[in-house]
Structure 1
Amino acid sequence: MDIILVPGLWLDAGSWAPVLEPLRAAGHTPRPLTLPGVGVPASGSADLRMHDWIAAVVAAIDEAQGDVVLVGHSGGGNVIWGAVDARPERVRRAVFVDTVPPPNGSGISEFPVVDGVIPFPGWDFFDAGDVEDLDAQTRAATARTALSVPAQVPTDPIALTDPRRYEVPATLLMGSLTQPELEGYIEQWGSYGDEYRSIRDAEVVRIGSGHWPQYSAPDRLAELLVAAVR
């Protein structure tokens, strides 16, 4: 099974390195992506939008010989859900890593723009619960490899049009939330709750980590990815 791995903001294909060998050992073909404009100055990335990131994933789907599994971390969840919407007949399962499927018209989030791009804002920008399992050495190493993202992408609303996306099974690998906890929260999130409830087959599995399990709990993440790809 081809598994297309989509990183979150400020990350590239290399962020998936800790899970590649376990996926190969399980008989799969992992295909980590670096999205367009990541690490590129504003002169080469200012015009990029969410649909450009989705198009990159759709191109990877179209290159595959058969059905695929899509995995998206954090903001990459928006990207893979857009690709599911574009190719619902080709996606065997969508796996969200510490994020949820977005509703039509939503963006990822807003971050400070510097010199026409969005640089990594530093670990102190995030909630304590998201980063408390990252030690100082890991924070320093990963911050050095963080890349800017195109200024328009994180706030660009996603356009979803095909209700067949709800027929694609979804696995939500949540850092700290169980399924009852997530479903309790998502009821308060308006259209996000509507989107989640519309998915015919959705499961939630707790990782037991912060927001970046590929760095803090790579073995656990790899185990859960292998289990989800079925």
Structure 2
Amino acid sequence: MDIVLIAGLWLDGSAWDDVLPALEQLGHRGIPVTLPGQGDGTTSATYDDQAAAVVAAVDAAEGAPYVVGHSAACTLAWVAADRRPDGITGVALIGGFPTTEGGAYADFFEPTGDGVPFPGWEPFAGPDSDDMSPELKASVAAGSHPVPVGVTRGIVHWTDEARHDVPLTLVCPEFSPAQAREWIASGDVPELADATRLELVDLDSGHWPMYTQPAALAAIIDEATRR
């Protein structure tokens, strides 16, 4: 099966390099997306540009692909469910949640000029990054890309209620399924509260399992495609 892979803020398609061979061994073709403004050489991309790139990747895939989003890009993966609910097999979200209707895509950090650079590892100290070696952290930071403000402050809109019926797997790395259930029940994540085919899966890792647990992550994705 074709699997569209979308990494979160500051990352390009190479974030999935260690996951691709594991997916291939399981019979899948991984399609990593380098988002506009995050490694494609442009600096003026918008959220709508990134959403369009995800839909284009879905449309170019063979058959009905499976779509995987990581961190902030969980919103972009859910865009595929919103715009192509009958054209995808399902969605997996890794360590993140779709933005609530009318909210900003990922306005979490202050920009420097027209972009939001990687802020360093201090904001992610603890469970997010405890499983990453100093060498890995240095490598990821060195390969990071400032995200255009037009992306981070773009406003998210949902259009098709059919998205709620798309098979959805929430991969819980630095938080537990129990914590996720609490957040959903409290109303903090309305998109997941309305999902009718939601499954929660635990993964013993930090926030970036594509680097630290690529084989385990590929196995979870493979299992999700079989639902």
**TM-score, normalised on structure 1?**
0.91
Q: Which digits, 9 at most, give the CA deviation of each residue in 1:105-136, with x for residues without a partner?
A: 22223212113111111111224221111111
- 1:63 corresponds to 2:60: yes
Aligned residues: 225
> Which residue matches 1:82?
79
How far did 1:178 drift? 3.4
Identify which range, 160-169 or 22-31, moves more after superposition.
Answer: 22-31
Q: What amino acid is aligned across from residue 4 of structure 1 in structure 2?
A: V
**TM-score, normalised on structure 2?**
0.93
> Which residue matches 1:214?
210
How far did 1:182 drift? 1.0
Q: Which digits, 9 at most, give the CA deviation of each residue in 1:167-186, with x for residues without a partner?
A: 10100111133333211123
> Which residue matches 1:45?
43
Return structure 1 stretches of 4+ with deviation > 3 angstroms: none
Flag structure 1 segments of 5+ consecutive residues without an equivalent. none
Q: Which of 172, 178, 181 matches 2:179?
A: 181
Q: Which digits, 9 at most, give the CA deviation of each residue in 1:71-118, with x for residues without a partner?
A: 001011011111211111111110001112332122223212113111
Q: Distance in 1 between matches of 2:179 and 2:19?
A: 26
Q: Distance in 2 between matches of 1:206 and 1:155?
A: 30
| Cα RMSD for the two superposed structures | 1.6
Distance 1:169 1:40, change over 3 A: closer
Q: What amino acid is aligned across from residue 69 of structure 2 in structure 1?
A: G
Q: What amino acid is aligned across from residue 122 of structure 1 in structure 2?
A: G
Q: Secondary structure at the match of 1:205?
A: strand
How far did 1:17 drift? 0.7
Q: Which of 219, 223, 228 matches 2:224?
A: 228
- 1:118 corresponds to 2:116: yes
Q: Which of 163, 166, 190 matches 2:164?
A: 166
How far did 1:189 drift? 4.5
Identify which range, 2-11 or 209-218, moves more after superposition.
Answer: 209-218
Q: Which digits, 9 at most, give the CA deviation of each residue in 1:42-91, with x for residues without a partner?
A: xx433x22111110011111112310100001011011111211111111
Q: Which digits, 9 at most, give the CA deviation of each residue in 1:136-164, with x for residues without a partner?
A: 11111111111111112122221101000
Q: Which of 87, 90, 95 matches 1:93?
A: 90
